[in-house]
Chains A and B, each alone.
Chain A
Amino acid sequence: MANKTVQFKIKRQDGPNSQPYWDEFEIPYRLGLNVISLFMEVALNPVTREGKQTTPVNYDSNCLEEVCGSCAMLINGKARMACSALVDNLEQPIQIEPFSKFPVVRDLQVDRSVLFENLKAVQAWVPIDGTYDLGSGPRVLPQVQEQAYRLSQCMSCSCCMEACPQFNESTGFVGAATIAQARLFNMHPTGKVLKEERLAALMGDGGIQECGYAQNCVEVCPKEIPLTKSISDVGGQVMKKAVLDFFRV
């Protein structure tokens, strides 16, 4: 098909404190293009649609197969991974923006360290550090493994947080991913040792209570992690703890 092109525009920003602006591009169509390959085309020939010279676009990416979680951005207004966003499935001109709830570093690159801080706050790990060999861990039933596996696929892309109406500066909500990870490690026979601490952390300000069940998180999660189920599950754990604490602490 002769002269078929792809039109897209990118919201760019030169630094954390500079003003955003839009650059529009048009490149020849190829079969199988995804959004990352659009950026590669721009890097090869950084000229806007109007013929203005510009710079290659700054963005995060790594695996290019939707497992690393780095290339999350807003594509046609929705949070998703750029590497798995196929041009053939997108309405043009494709509108590409950095996440709106995370500080922009440059162009499409944002600072998502809040998720890392949140994971640390709930101790989303299995504590096995020791000075001697602890031997093999306790057995995990296959049924539990199956549930845990789904949760363990979280790649910290933060799509669930970007899309959540409750995740914003006035609530400081922890977001669905961290709650799901707390559930994952509470499920683990060794990780369980920190369960009470994780739940206590999630009862702090910005904790699980801020969820309003809009269910956007579970809709946008590229890894289809059962986020609302996890929030309810941990919601139950937290309530149980609250009630028990009331009578026993």
Chain B
Amino acid sequence: MASTAQSANTALPKGVSPLRAGTGTSFLWRRLHSLTGIVPVGLFLLEHLISNAEILNGANAYNGQVKFLTGLPFRLWLEIFGIFLPLLYHAAYGVYIWWRGENNVIDYALKGNWFYTLQRYTGVLVFAYVAFHLWTMRFTGIHLTEHYDASVWKVQTELAHPLMIAVYAVGMLAACWHFGYGLFLFAAKWGIVTGEKAQKRAQVLGIALGLLLTLLGLVTIYSFVTRPAQEKNPLWEQPVQEQSQLMAPAATVR
């Protein structure tokens, strides 16, 4: 027989600890994570997708929408407390949740378990994508708060490479899926949708909404990519040399 030798001085294995009834703050943090996913982060996603779709009404409409948004009073505060901080919290706590879960989708290849797993992976993917997207579109390059009329140009320049289009498409799908399924999770966890049949329905609805939003996003991307390249801004007072330099990439846009 194999080892009967017991390591005498090791303590007995403990296993999972029992409920720490009524103590700790994780309830608050976890529910806050759940809430921030819907309001404001999810709401912002909706707004963002709808605003982006303005491109379907033409370049001027799009630039105008950017003008409206960037011209909102307290814009910076809205950004910080309405988007950045909640987003950062949702992302950071989400990674913590992901790290503590013990994925077993291989052993239990069940539908709900796949969705559970997907919610974690799409979350991490969206985190990476949003960080990248913020970097290229919000924190570097021409600042659209001052130059809203360069908005279409900036997006078209961003999407100039097919690889970029792929990155955006994948980011779009991941974000919309995460949000759509997240709506179902929210409804289930907060006791809004409780019944067995009702939850199946809510799950389908959540996923359908996610896919619908993805479609909207993809149509938007398509519209950006296929329309004639916009000039950065003909009205700008720019040194001639710099302007021609800056115009160069726009000229190569398909």
Contact = CB atoms under 8 A, between A and B. Distances in A.
B252 interface: no
A188 interface: no
B18 A17 contact: no
Nearest to A102: B15
A74 B20 CA distance: 27
Contacts of A172: 16-20
Number of chain A interface residues as a range: 35 or more
Contacts of A240: 191
A178 B21 CA distance: 12
B12 interface: yes
Contact of B193 (A111, A173, A232): A232
Interface in B166-221: 185, 188-196, 199
Nearest to B98: A212
Given A165-B113, A237-B191, A228 B7 contact: no
B112 A215 contact: yes
A236 interface: yes
A169 B193 contact: no
B140 interface: no
Contact of B104 (A15, A203, A213, A216): A216
Contact of B17 (A16, A169, A228, A232): A169
Given A14-B4, A211-B189, A114 B16 contact: yes
Interface string A1-20: 00000000000001111110
A215 B7 CA distance: 38
A157 interface: no
Given A78-B108, A204-B19, A216-B112, A236 B13 contact: no
A93 interface: no
Contacts of A94: none
A214 B113 contact: yes
A239 B19 CA distance: 18
Contacts of B196: 226, 228-229
Given A54-B1, A205-B26, A236 B112 contact: no
A156 to B, nearest CB: 14
B234 interface: no
Given A209-B27, A239-B191, A219 B110 contact: yes
* CB-CB nearest 8 A-B residue pairs: A236-B191, A215-B112, A205-B24, A201-B21, A214-B116, A117-B18, A21-B2, A209-B30
25 contacts: A78-B108, A101-B16, A103-B13, A117-B18, A122-B21, A163-B108, A165-B103, A168-B101, A178-B19, A201-B19, A201-B21, A201-B22, A204-B22, A204-B24, A205-B19, A205-B25, A205-B26, A209-B31, A216-B113, A228-B196, A232-B191, A232-B193, A236-B191, A238-B27, A239-B190
